[in-house]
Amino acid sequence: MDSKLIQAVNAYGKTMQSGATAPSDGAKNIGGASFKDILGNAATEGVNATAQAERAAAQAVAGQADLVDVVTAVTNAEVVVESVVAVRDRVISAYNDIIKMPI
């Protein structure tokens, strides 16, 4: 009976330790990049891809670019923007969940 109690206390202590260290490890893995930086980089990438697509489209209208280039540039921009928007929506919904959390 006593040994079981000691085991339980030890297990609890271990869990507490791992629980205490896990978040700091996680934070280290991100390497100091905050959510703001990630979102900022993603948005910049999206804007760049869109600008490239627009340039290709304008060149095609002027007869300087291949239609295939326009299609690939636009598809690329679409993929980048869609993924940025999806991640943003997901993270904002996570923030909202935290805000609504009863304290």
Partner 1 sequence: MDLEKSMFVSAAALRAQSQRMRIISENLANSNSEAVAPGDDPYRRKVITFKNAMDNELGVNTVKVESVDLDQSQFGRRFDPGHPAADENGYVQVTNVNSLIESMDMKQAQRSYEANLNAIEASRNMLMSTIDLLR
For partner 1, the binding residues (CB under 8 A) are: 66, 68-69, 71-72, 75-76, 79, 82-83, 86-87, 89-90
Q: What is the 3-state secondary structure of the chain?
A: CHHHHHHHHHHHHHHHHHHHHHHHHHHHHHCCCCHHHHHHHHHHHHHHHHHHHHHHHHHHHCCCCCHHHHHHHHHHHHHHHHHHHHHHHHHHHHHHHHHCCCC
Query: Which is closer to partner 1, CB of 22 or CB of 94?
Result: 94
Q: How far is the CB of 5 from partner 1 (least distance, A)?
A: 46
| Minimum CB distance to partner 1 smaller for 12 or for 35 | 35
Whichever of 59 and 76 has its CB closer to partner 1, that residue is 76
Q: How far is the CB of 97 from partner 1 (least distance, A)?
A: 15
| CB 74, min distance to partner 1, A | 11
Cβ of residue 75: shortest distance to partner 1, in angstroms? 6
Burial class (CB in 10 A: 0-12, 13-18, 19+), 60: middle
